[in-house]
Amino acid sequence: MRNTTLYTSECLFIEGGQRLKGSVRISGSKNASLPVMMSSLLTDQVCEIHEVPHLLDVESTIELLQVLGVDVSYDGGCVRIDPSKVNSFVAPDNIVRRMRASVLAMGPLLARFGRAVVAMPGGCSIGVRAIDQHIKVFEKGGTFVRVEHGYIHLEVERIKPVEYTFEVVTVTGTENALMFLSRCEKRSILRNIAVEPEVIDLVEVLKSMGVSIEIEGRTAIIKGNAELKGFDHKVIPDRIEAGTFLVAGFMTGGDIELENVRVEHLGSVIEKIREAGACVEILAPDKLRVRSEGDGIRPISISTSEYPGFPTDMQAQFMSMCCIARGSSEITENIFENRFQHVAELQRMGADIHVKGRTAFIRGVKKLTGAEVFSTDLRASASLVLAGLVAEGRTIVREIYHLDRGYEKLDEKLKGLGALIQRRPTFDIT
- Give the whole-angstrom CA distance, residue 413 versus residue 100: 27
Figure out which of the listed residues 43, 170, 292, 329 binds ligand EPZ, where binding follows CB under 6 A: 170
The answer to whether 136 and 162 have CB atoms below 8 angstroms apart is no
- Which residues are 23's β-sheet partners? 257
The answer to whether 176 and 200 have CB atoms below 8 angstroms apart is no
What is 266-318 written as a DSSP string? -HHHHHHHHHTT-EEEEEETTEEEEE--SS-----EEEB-STTSB-GGGHHHH
Figure out which of the listed residues 53, 173, 243, 370 binds ligand EPZ, where binding follows CB under 6 A: 173
212 or 332: whose CB is closer to ligand EPZ? 332
CB 326 to ligand EPZ: min, Å: 29
239 or 423: whose CB is closer to ligand EPZ? 239
Task: For Cα atoms 299, 303, 304, give the angle at the middle one, nearest 5 degrees.
Answer: 125
65 or 371: whose CB is closer to ligand EPZ? 65
Figure out which of the listed residues 172, 252, 381, 383 binds ligand EPZ, where binding follows CB under 6 A: 172
- Give the whole-angstrom CA distance, residue 38 versus residue 16: 40
Which CA distances in Å does 67 have to 46, 57, 71, 111, 150? 17, 15, 9, 18, 19
CB 379 to ligand EPZ: min, Å: 5
Q: Which of residues 381-410 bind ligand EPZ (CB under 6 A)?
A: 406
125 or 212: whose CB is closer to ligand EPZ? 125
- Does 370 contact ligand EPZ by CB under 6 A? no
Q: Which of residues 68-127 bind ligand EPZ (CB under 6 A)?
A: 101, 127
First-to-last alpha carbon distance for the chain, in angstroms, is 32
Residue 144 C-beta-side C-alpha neighbours within 13 Å: 5
- Does 265 contact ligand EPZ by CB under 6 A? no
Question: Is 124 tagged catalytic?
Answer: yes
- Does 237 contact ligand EPZ by CB under 6 A? no
CB 281 to ligand EPZ: min, Å: 27
355 or 365: whose CB is closer to ligand EPZ? 355
Type of residue numbered 343: V
- Does 296 contact ligand EPZ by CB under 6 A? no
Q: Which stretch binds ligand EPZ (CB under 6 A): 82-90, 129-137, 154-162, 252-260?
A: 129-137
129 or 207: whose CB is closer to ligand EPZ? 129
CB 136 to ligand EPZ: min, Å: 8
Q: Which of residues 333-362 bind ligand EPZ (CB under 6 A)?
A: 335-336
Helix (H, G, I), strand (E, B) or coil at 70: coil
- Give the whole-angstrom CA distance, residue 332 versus residue 303: 5
Task: For Cα atoms 129, 134, 135, give the angle at the middle one, nearest 5 degrees.
Answer: 110
The answer to whether 251 and 320 have CB atoms below 8 angstroms apart is yes
What is 6-39 written as a DSSP string? GGS--EEEEE--PPPEEEEEPPBPHHHHHHHHHH
Which CA distances in Å does 324 have to 89, 209, 354, 401? 50, 49, 15, 27
- Does 168 contact ligand EPZ by CB under 6 A? yes
- Does 61 contact ligand EPZ by CB under 6 A? no
244 phi-psi bin (left φ>0, alpha ψ -120 to 50, beta other): alpha
Q: Which of residues 15-34 bind ligand EPZ (CB under 6 A)?
A: 30-31, 34
Figure out which of the listed residues 117, 131, 288, 346 binds ligand EPZ, where binding follows CB under 6 A: 131
- Does 313 contact ligand EPZ by CB under 6 A? yes
- Does 147 contact ligand EPZ by CB under 6 A? no
Report residue 166 CA to chain centroid gap: 21
Q: Which stretch binds ligand EPZ (CB under 6 A): 132-140, 281-289, 364-372, 419-427?
A: 132-140
CB 339 to ligand EPZ: min, Å: 8
- Give the whole-angstrom CA distance, residue 426 versus residue 397: 10
The answer to whether 114 and 86 have CB atoms below 8 angstroms apart is no
CB 128 to ligand EPZ: min, Å: 6
- Does 304 contact ligand EPZ by CB under 6 A? no
Among 11, 47, 78, 124, the active-site one is: 124
CB 131 to ligand EPZ: min, Å: 5
- Binding residues for ligand EPZ, rule: CB under 6 A, are 30-31, 34, 101, 127-134, 168, 170-173, 194, 198, 312-313, 335-336, 378-379, 406
User: Where in the sequence numbering do the catalytic residues fall?
Assistant: 124
